[in-house]
Structure 1
Amino acid sequence: MIDAAYTAWRTDALAGVSTVLIADSNESVHALNQRARADLILDGTVNARREVALEGDARAGVGDTIITRKNDRRLRTPRGWVRNGDRWIVTDIRNDGSLTARRADSRGTVILPADYVSDHVDLGYAVTAFRAQGITTDTSHVLVDPSTTRENLYVAMTRGRHANLVYVATDRPDDNHTTPHPADDPDATARSVLYRVLQHVGAELSAHETITAEHETWGSVGQLAAEYETIAQAAQHDRFATLIRNSGLTPEEAEDTIHSDAFGALTAELRQAEANHHNIDALMPRMVAARGFGDADDIASVLHHRLARATDRPAGSGRTRKAPRLIAGLIPEATGPMSAEMRKALKERRELIQQRAEAVLDQALAERQEWVLALGDTPAEPRAAAAWKRRARTVAAYRDRYGITTRNPLGPAPDTDAQKIDAARAKAALARLRDLAGVEGNDDLSRTVRREVASRAL
């Protein structure tokens, strides 16, 4: 399959089509880059008589496609600056080891200093799925094998404007995982590998099944939430980029924001604001107009901070305030216009997250795990019982997302800002759980047992 992918990529490249090869492993990327460069030297596209050393053992000459690996605002182009993940065509090699390059998708040029070239530049014919984020080409040629994750596949398959082609290998060992991957199968076919990567057959959870070790690795809320958020970011990228361009920023400020490392965090905050029922189309221009950005090092970070402060609570007040749209009580739903494929992928992840949270809770209840006993008894009244279980699922999802195994329902103090937000949601769910359990007419002994369990858990 690697030959088929390479041949198709080379056909596109020779036809003048903007194209990229995407593979899961650094080894495959390195081999493809070296092969591409060798062919381009042979056909005269690349001049190898004057070369410069790149990161690792790679080298580049005039005509080579390269990729920059580090943001550097000091390296300016007419309409921006050098960013991690940008692709360039080398136009000149200098005696001091520096080089001149133009953007692969525009006319902007830059001089890259020798130390930047040797430390932060690589060949750019092939990239990993992680590095492919932010790249847009006419076509992409994606290598898939049993080690490929759904997250990486969806990222890779959204890089091409006109075509995204996948090449499935069935005979490559998976050296990247210490436990079996759901796609491992000695009798696998290309179709079965791709189907399993897309669907993770065998990792879907039922509320009545035992959560196996494979489920723990590949079906956890942490894994599924990461996939959901990655797909959501790709699905909403163009829409949010348009929102930024229409927000009142100058064209240069808008492009700096969209290409900033903080743009992903900003889009996540926009998604959260929408989940809280805020009108971001009206809100973002107000965030921009609130104050200038003359002293800002990163406009995306500033906007993220302003937006977070303005939308930390659901829109409205009193009876008009709606509950936020959260999956399992934690993960903001991605809404708005997007492709049918992206919407389907997000729906699948949403259902899997909900199933997983349900299964974790059901297992804890069946085994009478101490953390779930600390939640209090399930109310007998049907509506109260349904509300109790809904909030208990939020606590279960929080524990599963962050790998919490302590007797305390919420575990240790959260480490990251993202976890702090989820912890606040889980804490609110926990408080409501205990209120619901407390309204029941349980006897004194039951209440004493609950207090003792809760005391040990804390």
Structure 2
Amino acid sequence: MRSASESTCFAELSAHETLTAEQDAWGSVAQLAAEYETLAAAAQHDRWASLVRASGLSPSQVSDVVNSDAFGPLAAELRRAEAHFVDVASLLPRVVAARGFEDAQDIAAVLRARVAAVVSRDTGAGRTRRVPRLVAGLIPRALGPMDAAMHQALVDRADLIESRAAAVLDQALLAGEPWTRALGPAPRGATATAWRQNACAVAAYRDRYGIVGVRPLGAVPDSTTQKLDAARPHAALETAQWLADERRTHDARRAIVSPGLPPLVTRF
């Protein structure tokens, strides 16, 4: 018969093995995100091409954009814009009219950069109260009209990504991985769900970019794509820390209130 301590260790080991098995079955966020984005590109291709045709470009410029290697990154940027509640139908004409393309070697690449700049400016800190529509707090959701089968495939991949992110977080917390200390202690009550959602966004980012160090978000990213992705988990980390601090403040206030005595006025 196992002792209490042996039973606890066995239960923790079983939980760890279960989480590891689940993660192996789902694949990494990096793999699942790549699959999601491939599906999204196919599902939304015709829609983005139609928007390009209606953007004010000449027919030859439209052809250059749609056939460019940079059309995929442009489409991904439009998906990010829509996930952040930007009106993409009016966005493209706006960035096309901003200035010409006389010196542009690749109009699609220029459009992508312009769209990214507008989205970053319009959705920066404090500019919107709406929560962006992201998978696991990280990957812009593919929205709008599309084939029903493609839509379902995207929903299925999104569910797998969020399950994987949750499993990565749970395993890290169970193992006491050093990076999780930056999240602060998980709060109780109404804020627990919000804390976990933000913590999952950090876990998803780490898993997508193979971050294994102590720093929760790793080194400063080099690629443009990762820089764009890093903004959301950075905000999520700050939110998780704030929620954890709220718990500490609440616990501290409770600790200094003695039974039968009026509470002390405290400032934190």
Distance 1:208 1:389, change over 3 A: farther
Letter in 2 for 1:383: A
For 1:178-207, what per-residue CA distance to the aligned partner results, in whole angstroms no more than 9, with x for missing partners? xxxxxxxxxxxxxxxxxxxxxxxxxxxx99
CA–CA separation in structure 1 for the residues paired with 2:43 and 2:191: 37
Distance 1:245 1:336, change over 3 A: same
Q: Describe the SS at the equivalent of 1:312.
A: helix
Q: State the match for 1:373 in structure 2.
A: 181
> Which of 217, 220, 232 is residue 410 of structure 1 equivalent to?
217
Q: Displacement, 1:209?
A: 2.8
Task: Note if contact 1:276-1:313 (Cα within 8 Å) is conserved in structure 2.
Answer: no
Distance 1:422 1:395, change over 3 A: same
Task: Note if contact 1:208-1:359 (Cα within 8 Å) is conserved in structure 2.
Answer: no
Q: State the match for 2:101 in structure 1.
A: 293
Q: Describe the SS at the equivalent of 2:184.
A: coil
Distance 1:207 1:235, change over 3 A: farther
Matched length: 236
Q: State the match for 1:388 in structure 2.
A: 195
Task: Note if contact 2:201-2:233 (Cα within 8 Å) is conserved in structure 1.
Answer: yes
CA–CA separation in structure 1 for the residues paired with 2:94 and 2:72: 20
Give yes or no for the alignment of 1:437 onto 2:244: yes
CA–CA separation in structure 2 for the residues paired with 1:234 and 1:417: 22
Q: State the match for 1:420 in structure 2.
A: 227
CA–CA separation in structure 2 for the residues paired with 1:288 and 1:427: 31
Residues 43-442 of structure 1 mapped to structure 2, 5 A cutoff: 209-212=18-21, 215-216=23-24, 219-312=27-120, 321-380=129-188, 382-441=189-248, 442=251
Task: Note if contact 2:16-2:174 (Cα within 8 Å) is conserved in structure 1.
Answer: no
For 1:136-164, what per-residue CA distance to the aligned partner results, in whole angstroms no more than 9, with x for missing partners? xxxxxxxxxxxxxxxxxxxxxxxxxxxxx
Q: State the match for 1:73 in structure 2.
A: none
Q: Describe the SS at the equivalent of 1:360.
A: helix
Task: Note if contact 1:314-1:322 (Cα within 8 Å) is conserved in structure 2.
Answer: no
Q: Displacement, 1:417?
A: 1.2
Q: Which runs of 4+ in 1 moved over 6 A?
A: 316-320
Distance 1:261 1:316, change over 3 A: closer
CA–CA separation in structure 1 for the residues paired with 2:124 and 2:206: 30
Distance 1:316 1:219, change over 3 A: closer
Q: Describe the SS at the equivalent of 2:222.
A: coil
Q: Displacement, 1:317?
A: 9.8
CA–CA separation in structure 2 for the residues paired with 1:358 and 1:309: 31
Q: Describe the SS at the equivalent of 1:274.
A: helix
Q: Displacement, 1:215?
A: 3.8
Task: Note if contact 2:23-2:167 (Cα within 8 Å) is conserved in structure 1.
Answer: no
Distance 1:257 1:323, change over 3 A: same
Distance 1:288 1:222, change over 3 A: same
Task: Note if contact 1:315-1:322 (Cα within 8 Å) is conserved in structure 2.
Answer: no
Unpaired stretches in structure 1, ≥5 consecutive residues? 1-205, 444-458
Q: Displacement, 1:412?
A: 2.0
Q: Displacement, 1:288?
A: 1.1
Distance 1:255 1:217, change over 3 A: farther
Identity %: 54
CA–CA separation in structure 2 for the residues paired with 1:331 and 1:207: 27
Distance 1:342 1:371, change over 3 A: same
CA–CA separation in structure 2 for the residues paired with 1:211 and 1:298: 45
Residues 22-37 of structure 1 mapped to structure 2, 5 A cutoff: none
Q: Describe the SS at the equivalent of 2:183.
A: coil
Q: Displacement, 1:223?
A: 0.3
Q: Which has the higher contact order (CA 8 A, sep 6+)?
A: 2
Q: Displacement, 1:231?
A: 0.6
Distance 1:331 1:319, change over 3 A: closer
Task: Note if contact 2:73-2:112 (Cα within 8 Å) is conserved in structure 1.
Answer: yes
CA–CA separation in structure 2 for the residues paired with 1:245 and 1:280: 13
Superposed CA RMSD in Å reads 2.3
TM-score by length of 1: 0.49
Task: Note if contact 1:209-1:359 (Cα within 8 Å) is conserved in structure 2.
Answer: no
Letter in 2 for 1:327: V
